[in-house]
Amino acid sequence: MYSFSECLLLVASLLLHNANIAAGRIALSDTETSIKVEKCGKPEFQSIQDIPLDGNIPLSPRGPYKTSGGPIQGKLNVHVVPHTHDDVGWLKTVDQYFYGRNSSIQNAAVQFIIDTVVLALEENPDRKFIYVEIAFFKRWWDEQSPAKQASVKRLVVNGQLEFINGGWCMSDEAAPFYVDMVDQQTLGHLFLKEHFGEKAAPRAGWQIDPFGHSNFMATAYALMGMDSWFFGRIDYQDRAKRENQTTLEMVMHPSASLGSSVDIFTGVTRGYGFPSGFCWEHNQDDPICDDPRMEEINVKSRVDDFVSAALEQAEHYANKDGNIMFTMGEDFCYENAFPWFVNMDKLIHYVNLDGRVNAFYSTPSMYTDAKHAANVTWTTKTDDWFPYCDGSATYDPSTARIDTNDGHAQWTGYFTSRAALKRNVRAASSLLQSCRQLGLLQHAHASKDAWCPPPFEAAVAGSSLWEGLGLAQHHDAVSGTSKQHVADDYAVHLQRGSDACQASMAGALEQLSGAGQLVYCPKLNESICEATTLWTEGNISVVVYNPLGQERVEFLRIPIGASGGVSVIDATTFQCVEAQIVAESTGGRTLAVEAALPATGYSVYTLVAGAGPQCRAADTSERRLVSPSGSNSIQNAMLRVVVDPATNQLAALENKKIGKTVRMTQWWGYYIASDGHHQEARERLGQASGAYIFRPACAEGDVEPCLPTSVAESGSGNSSRPNTTILE
């Protein structure tokens, strides 16, 4: 009997034997034909001639397949990286993507991706898989039995399942605020640390789908302890040049102030899909057929295709270190993981028997280790990768010229798409920070006199909003590039989290201030607050919290229902507070109060119907018309801002400290969107302006700049700037 390793040596010797026969270097004798192979996998063959070949590759139908391995010096090493890219919302909502609902839009069910990947990894310890979106993984994890969770932990410990990026989502890099980008990463990493320990901390940043990249991400990933960053989208002209110069991999040096401590190895992948012809999602491409009883054995042709793809990619990536990465996956791939892994097992086995390249299961971390081990000198980059523009181009190194016929595909539209959602995300982020602060203050207040401090509930109170904000950082969420019903769903998640945080904040301020039962008023911008508009007599407390780290003076506008006068008292100092009642055009009344707020603290004001014991009632302001020939201005100790009363637009800005006034014109305009059907040079027919791409309907090559249409002149179609008179 032969062991598996002996079997492989025998197969290798048979390969050499057959090659020598074909070359005429040896003659086939009766002795040689009677060599007996007792057992070498399945099925059994009795002689050299009985081992089936496809070309010069011996077949191993039904296995076993040798899938272990790693980089070999002097070989072209192909790192086969199985992965899936699972958007936490885009064409479908995050819930629909997880469970597989709404298949009329897109076939995708993340729960089955993770289910079948885990089962496939359990079958073969050589198999590997990387996963990114912790928002999905946590949902799946929470539904698993303890036995299944234990099995997954073993896969992580064994290095078969590796978490990379590790954020709640794969965030956008242009529209989010940096605090929110870090927050969503923190949320995902905390989950990984809790359930898998510190050794599961992601080593690689994986931003393969966002529409352009910020050098801040390089800084952030390095500070998070990662040693590599991979992404798939850069400007097509930049890509053409880098492919020619083999500089698609480099070291990012993103911060002059932080220096080399945040330098990070960076790779631009070839998109993030599989090599052409090697997708087994829903049996899209041909499987590896190695059964000699079949008429359509294709092992050699499939190996040739794989090797050709590897050699072509190596021209742009190998960079003398002999390592390239094949990203084996795409959007929502591996819904049935078994066709993928069965075919990859065969492919790795037969490619290595062929011998022209060395293939093995790998991860971005293993790939980075191989790159570092090669001790190659890399180019550096310091700046952003914005804006992203897609297309095709060629680079001529002899003239340093980039030739392209593409155009009008600058992905800058999403910088402003769905502005209301962007504002909603920003407001929710501010609310979450306030919610956390008050939770900490409440915890400290309750703990200072206690032998055993109560449990800290601030993180729990804000977890719903934290998760909602984590979803909203996704590159199809805050970017504004999702479908309308998906954008609505993001807003629902944010609102649910905001409601929970507001209730938590009210409870914290009740305990801290002793002001009695409090309710949060989130619609003051609409002059809506039931607690104050239903109040008509006696007194009521208003608690105002300042989350900033410095003192501030804020003018509060509180809608009131009391029909008479109102006086305001500082509940801490018992001093009277200046206030004024403003009659609104809608018929209601608003109390304006000048509130002095401490840093990261709160102030309590008592509103008294009528005059207080020592404070007079606030005056009711009168509405006055400003003469059109005059001007309005507001000022502080440093600046004076002048507004034109005829247009209510900014007219001048005075720096009082240096005595300099700058006159200015303010105007509003809009661009007519291109429908993508203009006949121009470098035309990309059908490339319309939209959520992703900003493309105004302007003729290319015009001498005059492409100006927006003025709102004031839109009726006449005039695109010139309005002639506004500046008044002081």
Query: Is 126 in contact with 67 (CB distance < 8 Å)?
Result: yes
Q: 202-212: per-residue pLDDT in tens?
A: 999 999 999 99
Q: Cα(391)–Cα(410) distance, rounded to whole angstroms?
A: 10
Cβ burial, residue 604 (10 Å; 0-12/13-18/19+) = middle
Query: Is 329 in contact with 279 (CB distance < 8 Å)?
Result: no
Identify the CATH number of the domain in which residue 445 sits: 1.20.1270.50
Q: Cα(593)–Cα(555) distance, rounded to whole angstroms?
A: 6
- Residue 578 one-letter amino acid: E
Q: Cα(430)–Cα(668) distance, rounded to whole angstroms?
A: 29
Tell me: do 481 and 607 sit in the same domain.
no
Tell me: do 381 and 421 sit in the same domain.
no
Q: Cα(649)–Cα(182) distance, rounded to whole angstroms?
A: 37
Query: Is 201 in contact with 230 (CB distance < 8 Å)?
Result: no
SS3 content of the chain, % helix, strand, coil (to 5): 35, 20, 50
Q: 616-642: per-residue pLDDT in tens?
A: 888 787 666 555 556 688 888 899 999
Is 702 a domain residue?
A: no
**What is the DSSP code (8-state) at residue 198?**
G
Q: 678-704: per-residue pLDDT in tens?
A: 665 555 667 889 999 998 888 766 667
Tell me: do 96 and 232 sit in the same domain.
yes
CA 395, 400, 404, 410: dihedral to nearest 10 degrees?
A: 100
Tell me: do 120 and 263 sit in the same domain.
yes
Question: Per-residue confidence at 408, pLDDT binned at 50, 70, 90?
Answer: confident
Total domains present in the chain = 4
Tell me: do 266 and 364 sit in the same domain.
yes
Q: Cα(695)–Cα(414) distance, rounded to whole angstroms?
A: 12
Q: Are strands 228-231 and 204-207 parallel, antiparallel or unpaired?
A: parallel
For the segment 35-43, the average pLDDT, to the nearest whole number, is 38
Q: Quote the pLDDT of residue 10.
A: 41
More confident residue, 686 or 142: 142
Is 476 a domain residue?
A: yes
For the segment 48-66, the average pLDDT, to the nearest whole number, is 80
Query: Is 162 in contact with 128 (CB distance < 8 Å)?
Result: yes
SS3 category, 717: coil
Tell me: do 37 and 155 sit in the same domain.
no
Q: Quote the pLDDT of residue 675.
A: 86
Q: Quote the pLDDT of residue 353.
A: 96
Q: 331-370: per-residue pLDDT in tens?
A: 999 999 999 999 999 999 999 999 999 999 999 999 999 9
Q: 80-108: per-residue pLDDT in tens?
A: 999 999 999 999 999 999 999 999 999 99
Task: Show the tokens assigned to 264.
Answer: 């990070």
Is 266 a domain residue?
A: yes
More confident residue, 33 or 501: 501
Tell me: do 118 and 38 sit in the same domain.
no
**pLDDT for residue 120 is more than 70:** yes
Q: How many residues does the chain have?
A: 728
Question: Per-residue confidence at 142, pLDDT binned at 50, 70, 90?
Answer: very high
Tell me: do 449 and 528 sit in the same domain.
no
Q: Cα(575)–Cα(565) distance, rounded to whole angstroms?
A: 18
| Side-by-side strand order, sheet with 639-644 | 632-635, 639-644, 649-655, 660-663
For the segment 437-459, the average pLDDT, to the nearest whole number, is 70
Which residue matches tokens 């409440």? 442
List, in sequence order, every residue forming a beta bridge with 230; answer none if it has no partner.
206, 267
CA angle 303, 308, 311 (to 5 degrees): 125
Q: Quote the pLDDT of residue 697.
A: 84
Is 718 a domain residue?
A: no
- Residue 51 one-letter amino acid: I
Tell me: do 528 and 500 sit in the same domain.
no
> 379 vs 72, 146, 245, 246, CA distance in Å?
25, 48, 11, 10
Domain of 260, in residue numbers:
77-166+202-392
Query: Is 710 in contact with 668 (CB distance < 8 Å)?
Result: yes
Q: Quote the pLDDT of residue 358.
A: 98
Q: Quote the pLDDT of residue 681.
A: 53
Q: 560-602: per-residue pLDDT in tens?
A: 987 788 999 999 999 999 899 988 766 688 999 999 999 999 9
Tell me: do 272 and 363 sit in the same domain.
yes
Tell me: do 553 and 612 sit in the same domain.
yes
Q: Quote the pLDDT of residue 17.
A: 43
Question: Per-residue confidence at 168, pLDDT binned at 50, 70, 90?
Answer: very high
Question: Per-residue confidence at 227, pLDDT binned at 50, 70, 90?
Answer: very high
More confident residue, 6 or 121: 121
Q: Quote the pLDDT of residue 4.
A: 41
Predicted TM-score of the model (pTM): 0.86
**What is the DSSP code (8-state) at residue 282?**
G
Q: Cα(465)–Cα(473) distance, rounded to whole angstroms?
A: 12
Neighbours of 445 (CB within 10 A): 12
Neighbours of 719 (CB within 10 A): 18
Q: Cα(522)–Cα(495) distance, rounded to whole angstroms?
A: 11
Tell me: do 42 and 157 sit in the same domain.
no
> Percent of the chain beyond pLDDT 70?
85
Is 114 a domain residue?
A: yes
Question: Per-residue confidence at 526, pLDDT binned at 50, 70, 90?
Answer: confident
Q: Quote the pLDDT of residue 630.
A: 62
Closest among 384, 212, 395, 254 to 316, alpha carbons compared:
395
**pLDDT for residue 8 is more than 80:** no
Angle between helices 458-472 and 134-142 (to 10 degrees): 130
Please report the sign of the dihedral spanned by the C-alpha atoms of residue 515, residue 532, residue 545, residue 608.
negative
**pLDDT for residue 54 is more than 90:** no
**pLDDT for residue 461 is more than 60:** no
| Last residue within a domain, chosen from 511, 544, 563 | 511
